[in-house]
Every structure is written in structure tokens, then in C-alpha cells.
Chain A
Amino acid sequence: MRITELFDQGKFVITAELAPPKGFHLDHMLKEAKEYLGAVTAINVTDNQSSNMKMGSMATCKALKDNGFESIFQLTCRDRNRLALQSDLLSAAYFGIENLLLLTGDHTRVGDTPQAKPVFDLDSVSLIHTVKLLEQGVDLGGKELEGEPPKFAKGAVVSPCSDSIDAQLSKMERKVMAGAEYFQTQAVYDSEKFIKFMERAKQFGVPVMLGLIIPKGAGALNFLNNNIPGISVPPDMIEELKKDPERAKAGITGVEITARIIRECRDYCQGVHIMTLGWESKVPDVLSQAGIA
């Protein structure tokens, strides 16, 4: 199922993000998914996230599908040139993977294999354009595909709380022009900023899923605030986590904060996307406290 069909039906879509292991054993991931992610519409699988070498996103998506989960295949331009990207898209179609999240990808220099050659033959915008061409039955070289062309839900990312909202909106517009059909955001901690952003982004008429990372403590949140692009945390939120370190450590405060952000932003977005970073077990509490599951 393509998640764009759900947006079209006016459904509020919930997705969670999982990272494949450094290895090829998925038992733990599948067990966690079955235990905690039953209420989630689709599971989004990262592609060598932060340029750290992991098992592939496509195979993990296939495994999730085999276990009854809808999946979203993340595809970045860092590790593959245009031949490999198109070839992987066709392979994904063969496996019945219908949802995509198309990204430029982090530079190899920031990950665990900085010696690697970064590719960036295409980028997020030209990759979206490429998928659209494949859907029309031709490849980037203008050659026709055999048989029925594939059909995907084409997703992209945007950072509503970045330093430069105007630049973000401009890039978002380019992605929409290229064919992006839904957006997933960088983690939002500042509801006010998100709402202001959405008031301007709604002109594009494309569904936006609020991105969330459950804060694991004051230190961790401070780190995200200072080091991760597109993340901006209101100072009183860090204070809130400092107040009772035991509660924060147990995830109680983080779950409360995350659920509160969802409640504040719910009317301004078409879904939520939770990047679990190991805290799959907290997802059910977040969803129930937010009143969406």
C-alpha cells in the first residue's frame, strides 16, 4: 500500500523509523517491531544512516513486509550513481516495496567510513525526478522500460526549524516541482516554529509528517540542539528534562514532551514520524498520550 493513498483519504498517518543492524540478523528488530509498533502505519528504514555502514534498507524493508509491516525504503545519493539508484528502484518494485523516502544523504566524511568516495551523482531533487520518469516508463537515459512501469509514493524531507526557513521553503518547492508527494520533517521540538513553518508550507498542498525524536535526557537533547542540522530546542525544554533526571532517564519526561508536541502540532500536519533511535518500546505510550492510537 502506498501511504499517499491514506493521505488522500484524509487519514492521519503514523510512521516509525528503524535502522538496520551492522550485521544481517533481524530477529531483534522484528521482535521489537512486533511488540511495540503494531499501531504504526509503516516502518521507515534508514539507508546507511549518518554514513555508517549497515545492512541494506531494501532487504530490511522486504523482511518487514514479509512479517506483515508496510515499509518505506529510504534511498540516498551518497553511495550509488544513477545506474545503481534506478536499478535499486526497480528491484524494490519487484519486492513490492511501494513507499520511498528520497534523500541526498550525509557526506561519507561524517560517518564510520570517512575514507569512502562520496557519489552524489544525483541529489534529492534529481532522484525524485528520476523516480517520476521510471513511473512514466522511461529511465534517465530516455530508454523505455519493459512492461508495466512501477508506481511509488515519493517522499522527501524538510527541516521546519532550521536557521533559514526561507531557504528550506525554496528547497521544498523544488522538491514539490520535481514530484515529491509527501514530506517527513527533521525532529521538531519547537511547536511554535513548526506551526509558523506550516502556515507557509501549506501553499504547496503536499502532506507533511511531523518528525519526532523522543528526548532521552537533558544532555542528549542539548547535544542534538548544538550539533544536528535543522534541530532547534527551546531552552525551557532542556530545563524540564533536568528537573528530575530519574524520570528523564526512564523516558517518562521524554514521552510526555513528545506527546505534547504532537498534540500542539496535530492540526497543522497530516501525520507523525517517530525516529525511535532504540526507544521503540516508548512508541505506544507516546501515541496513547498524544491521543492518536
Chain B
Amino acid sequence: MLITQLKPKETIASIAGSKAFYITCEGCREVYFPEEEAAQLREEAAGIGSLVTDYICNPDNLMFQLEKHMEKLNAADTIVVFSCGVGVQTVSACFTGKKVYAGCDTYPLPGGQGVTPLEYDCDQCGECHLNSTGGICPITACSKSLVNGQCGGAKYGKCEVDKDMDCGWERIYRRLEAAGLTDSLLYPVKIRDFAVE
């Protein structure tokens, strides 16, 4: 089980802007999700469109669900996703040129993670970093789970720990570079809080 919690209203307001499209994922029985709060927030924010759906962690399902909304999605300058970290990463990988932001933080609850088809991984770190990392999770895509940028260990784009694995931080940098968003890496120093539960 895991639990998602909405990021503070001010945080969401500061990332969303007026041309935001909101995607909410409520399908999964493994995730406790604050449905009412999210609905209220969407209403107040009045973006250019929204979709409440399920299992966005499955890219095929996600694209199927989004088909009818493509026009609005293309017009949006940000996509705010209310889901666990896996869902945000899936959306982000489908819209690499856009700002895709997490509206939630994901925490673990005792028990398994459920049966989501895991192309992307979320470690439920409790303070989702995806909004500064181009939607690629630094906790699971980096062998050292670094949150302040890459170590000096990558060679030819591969991680120092495993030559078959792409360096997560080089992936983050390349995705942000492609979207012209490398400035988002100038966030204040991050220090992980291992007491979050």
C-alpha cells in the first residue's frame, strides 16, 4: 500500500499557472488518494481542462484515456498530475517537451506496492522531487539516489555502478535540456528527510 498526499496549495499554484491541464488518477486500490481535496483544488484552480481516470501508470491506458483531450493538452503549458510517483513519471515520459508536474507526494504504508505494471519506479520517498527533475525520479533512476544533481561517475552516459544502466541524472539533464528547462536545476539545496512516514 501507498498513500499520496497533495502538495501544499501554494506549491501547486506556483507550478501550475493559468494554462494547466490536470490529470487525476483514482483507479488503483493500492493507493490511498485524497479524492475530495484534489477535486476542490482543480475547481479552484480553473485550468484549461482536466481528466479523472485510472491506471495512468500503464502508458497504453494513459494514451487511450488522453486521446479525447489532446487538443487541450497540446494547448496547455503545464500538466499537473495527481497520482503516485509512477503515474507522474509515465505522463512525463509521454510529454517530454512539456512541463509535467507532480501535485502529490508519495509515502509508503506497510504492505506491498500493488500490481502496477512498473516501467517506472517510485520508492515512496515522501517528498516527490519530480518537479525539479523533468519527471524522472532521482531516487530510483540514480544508483546513489542523489537529489542535488549528478555525481562525477558517469562515463559515456552510463552509471558508474552498472555499465548497462543509463545515468539517471544524465537522463534528467537531457530531458530538461530538450524542454529548455535546465534552470529548474537551480533549486535550493535539498536534504532528504528519512523520518517521513
Contact = CB atoms under 8 A, between A and B. Distances in A.
Contact of B152 (A121, A157, A174): A157
B160 A120 contact: no
B191 A126 contact: yes
Contacts of B93: none
Contacts of B148: 123-126, 174, 178
A190 interface: no
A109 B173 CA distance: 24
Q: Which 5 A-B pairs have the closest CB atoms?
A: A125-B148, A129-B189, A104-B151, A229-B155, A120-B144
Nearest to A128: B189
A177 B186 contact: yes
Contacts of A123: 144, 146-149, 151
Contacts of B64: none
Contact of A121 (B143, B153, B192): B192
B170 interface: yes
Nearest to A167: B173
A140 interface: yes
24 contacts: A82-B191, A104-B151, A106-B153, A107-B144, A107-B160, A107-B161, A109-B143, A110-B160, A120-B146, A121-B194, A123-B151, A129-B189, A162-B152, A163-B154, A163-B155, A170-B173, A170-B182, A170-B185, A170-B186, A171-B150, A229-B152, A229-B154, A229-B160, A230-B155
A196 to B, nearest CB: 18
A227 interface: yes
Contacts, number: 86
A274 B143 CA distance: 29
Interface in A126-159: 126, 129, 140, 157, 159
A203 to B, nearest CB: 14
B177 interface: yes
Contacts of A173: 186
Nearest to B194: A121
B177 A166 contact: yes
A253 B157 CA distance: 32
Nearest to B156: A163
Interface in A248-287: none
B147 to A, nearest CB: 7
A118 B173 contact: no
Residue among A110, A125, A230 facing the most chain B CB atoms (10 A cut-off): A125
What is the predominant secondary structure among interface residues of chain B facing chain A?
loop
A278 to B, nearest CB: 22
Contacts of A109: 143, 161
Interface string B27-55: 00000000000000000000000000000
A129 B148 CA distance: 11
B146 to A, nearest CB: 5
Contact of A163 (B143, B157, B182, B190): B157
Among B147, B153, B186, find the residue whose CB has the most chain A CB atoms closer than 10 A: B153
Contacts of A186: 152
Given A123-B144, A164-B173, A229 B185 contact: no
Given A178-B189, A229-B152, A229-B155, A164 B170 contact: yes
B145 interface: yes
Contacts of B190: 126
A173 B191 CA distance: 17
A124 B151 contact: yes
A110 to B, nearest CB: 6
A13 interface: no
Interface string B42-79: 00000000000000000000000000000000000000
A178 B151 CA distance: 15
B152 A159 contact: yes
Given A121-B192, A166-B177, A174 B155 contact: no
A5 B166 CA distance: 41
Interface string B177-197: 100001001100111101000
Contacts of A124: 148, 151
A259 to B, nearest CB: 26
A45 interface: no
Given A124-B148, A166-B182, A230-B152, A107 B143 contact: yes
B163 to A, nearest CB: 10
Given A104-B144, A106-B153, A167-B170, A174 B191 contact: no
A124 B148 CA distance: 8
Given A110-B160, A140-B191, A118 B144 contact: yes
